[in-house]
Chain A
Amino acid sequence: MNDAETMIEVVDLHKHFKDLHVLRGISTTVKQSEVVAVMGPSGSGKSTFLRCLNRLEEPSSGHIYIEGVDILAPYIDINRVRTEIGMVFQSFNLFPHLTAIENIKLAPMSVRKLSDKEAVDRGMALLEKVDLAEKADTYPEQLSGGQQQRVAIARALAMQPQIMFFDEPTSALDPEMIGEVLDVMRNMAKEGMTMMVVSHEMGFIKEAADRILFLVDGEVVEDGTPDHIFNRTTHERTLEFLSKII
């Protein structure tokens, strides 16, 4: 894996919310096609970490390189960087005034300047991929949670990003819908997408993740393979956390 291209490099990342020191010096590297799961107790800074990487939150200090580009440099057009990173949220955040296909084609048309036909073609192919082609003209409020999240994934993929971030993509779903979303993510992982996934879905992580970053109080306390973290860790906080979620 060492010869693979480095997609994300984070160096000593800090984030403060006023007096709250949320991220305390995170450094890590994510290589092309790597799937990194981010785990840790609630409030440990997982979401903040991901959101700093596409600057939905402004990092307080540190360096972030996406495909070698220093995205904290003052001359950077952050919107260009963001087109390279797809993001999927816990609460889906589909645009309620647009149908599924309109949700998907909005960014390709407005940002990438694709024609309507190109965008629709691309969007339909993606809906096909998440198995929702027949719901193209449906508004989000008429879709189930699992369907909404799959549309949200298709929407992110429509920008043809190099990297995908998932922030607890299945936490807001009823149990019977979690599988359909994880299936889509599993396929993406197989196709070689570089992914960072905040999730506590053990089955998915064991199967799809190459690495687990274990965050506690804004620090990476462990960084290893799923096998290592789940079976051989001796770290006290990790064991404590794992005992709670299994």
Chain B
Amino acid sequence: MEPMLSIKNLTKRFGGLTAVNQVSMDVHPGEVVGLVGDNGAGKSTLIKMVSGVYQPNDGDIFFEGRRVHISRPSEARELGIETIYQDLALAGNLDVGANIFLGREHKRAYLGGLVRVLDDRFMQAQSEKLLVDLDVHIPSLRQKIDKLSGGQRQAVAIARAVYWNARLMIMDEPTNNLGVAQQGEVLSLIRRLRDQGVPVIVISHTIRDIFAVSDRIVVLHRGHKVADKRVTETSHEEIVQYIMGARDDYRSN
């Protein structure tokens, strides 16, 4: 199967520091890829090049078979690459439906087409259906986002991306700052996304979470890729060794 996303020899330097060094990886449809590595290994920098926040110094990005230049986050989103940030994504004073449709509100004609008003009933109904499909439970969609738990907010952000036809989802530390129960909810939501055909790249420093959701694990160490393994072919211990730099599958010579 053709990969949805294909990264070839991507390099990013900050001054004298090479944060990401000649990294290549593929993400296939219906696949969750776990991206792990020590602090400063280059995980965030790598995905920020895919989401348009940083420009690579070298290397290529292919999306759905085409070579793409992503110079701004909005361009990534137009391609269908959605990045879920923990806090940046939602307006806390608006309700769930308003957030899912933020910037793309559904409107209807009013006063015989003289003006167009918000169609909140439509947006509520769509949001409700969407959340049911994704098996996300939120007591009332009329609730303001501020009143929701961290996990519920995360779920709303993900649902919004799904509704607007995300083709690839990127999540940087989605379970950070969440209680245990909420962590579990977010992880199962990631699995449901995969089952609906949306591939996901998940960054986490919690190896347990990574094993719980990933089909494949990519390990970075000081900007280099050191491992790319199916979860069924590796173990916690082995991955930890890669993370610490004790193993490297790609070291040349």
Physical interaction between A and B: no
Chain B residues engaging chain A, CB cutoff 8 angstroms: none
Chain A residues engaging chain B, CB cutoff 8 angstroms: none
